[in-house]
Amino acid sequence: MAIRRRTQPSGQDQAVSAVIPAGSQAPDPPQPDDILPDGRTARRDRNRQLVLDAALELFAAGDLSPSPEAVAQRSGVSLRSVYRYVSDREELVNAAIERHIERIGPLFVLEPVGEGPFEARVQAFVTARLRLYEAVAPTARAALLRTKLRGTPASEIIRERLANRRGMLRVQLARQFEPELSTFGQDADAIMAAADALTQIEMMDWFVVDGGYTLEQTRQAMTAGLRRLLGPGGSKALAAQPRQP
């Protein structure tokens, strides 16, 4: 089935301003009721979660670098309280990314891995990756944006964690299709690299945001690509090609 692009561009590909103001609004001086006894710790934690969840909602709405003011309005928590939990915009965004990664951790797991016939493994793999993509895409865009801004210790940590996540997904791919990859001989690394690029979160985001494809069309493209790269026909086609001296 031919894959056709949507005629209307995705609303997600609108340009998003990522400029951080030179100075952040200073928090109000502490008030007597800011000092929470042990019995009110739960309330403070709950409000902090509301703040971080509001930032994640703004990510999903296209604001990849939300201000504390926008988060305060979205969460219903006072601006003074927002500044009690985070010191500035950068800390706010980084904390929201961390919270989201913790929350969606189970979606990075593929079980069982590497079991069953090839076609069943392809379908299971693509389904799992698209489910992960739907959950992580807005936060992944915000995380990538942080790594491209001025270098800070926080952005370096995010860059390292993104690299670790990509590596984990690469290992998962190799385990899922180990029987097929073992048939490619010296071409196995190149085939693995192509399959890895096709199925990383950034590539799925290209399909949906930049390419203008639907999730179902993205599923079809990934499925067809994995079949061509890793299926029985792929290794036979490579074996028939003449080798360069």
CA 140 – CA 102 distance, rounded (Å): 13
**Is pLDDT larger for residue 185 or for residue 41?**
185
- How much is the pTM? 0.61
pLDDT score at 25: 42
- Please write the tens of the pLDDT for every residue from 116-151: 999 999 999 999 999 988 888 877 777 777 666 655
Instruction: Supply the pLDDT for residue 56.
Output: 77
Find the helix or strand (DSSP H, E) in which 83 lies: helix 79-85
Question: Residue 7, exposed/middle/buried by CB under 10 A (0-12, 13-18, 19+)?
Answer: exposed
Phi, psi angle pair for 78, to nearest 5°:
-65, 150
Under the banding of pLDDT at 50, 70 and 90, the label for residue 28 is: very low
Higher pLDDT, 27 or 201: 201
pLDDT of amino acid 103: 74
Report the C-alpha gap between 130 and 135 in whole angstroms: 9
Which region among 45-54, 128-137, 233-242 has the lowest average model confidence (pLDDT)?
Answer: 233-242
Those residues whose C-beta lies under 8 Å from the C-beta of residue 183, and which sit 6 or more positions away, are 235
Q: What is the reported pLDDT for 8? A: 45
26 vs 140: which has the higher pLDDT: 140
Structure confidence by residue, pLDDT tens digits, 166-224 = 888 999 999 999 999 999 999 999 999 999 999 998 899 899 989 999 999 999 999 99
What distance in Å separates the CA atoms of residue 164 and residue 152, rounded to the nearest whole number? 18
Q: Scanning the structure block, which residue is given the tokens 């994640």?
A: 56
d(CA 192, CA 201): 16
Domain ranges of the chain: 41-88, 104-233
pLDDT at 213: 96
Residue 244 predicted with pLDDT over 80? no
Reported as a pLDDT band with limits 50, 70 and 90, residue 17 is very low
Distances (CA, A) of 198 to 37, 63, 209, 223, 237: 52, 26, 15, 10, 20
**Maximum distance among all alpha carbons in the chain?**
79
DSSP states of 6-48: -SSPPGGGS----PPPSSPPPPPPPPGGGS--GGGHHHHHHHH
Predicted local confidence at residue 66, as pLDDT: 82
Decide if 70 contacts 91 (C-beta within 8 A): no
Q: What is the pLDDT of residue 19?
A: 28
> 41-88: which CATH topology?
Arc Repressor Mutant, subunit A (1.10.10)
Amino acid found at 121: R
Instruction: Output the CA angle 203-156-64, nearest 5 degrees.
Output: 55
Region at 91 (left for phi over 0; alpha for psi -120 to 50; beta for the rest): alpha
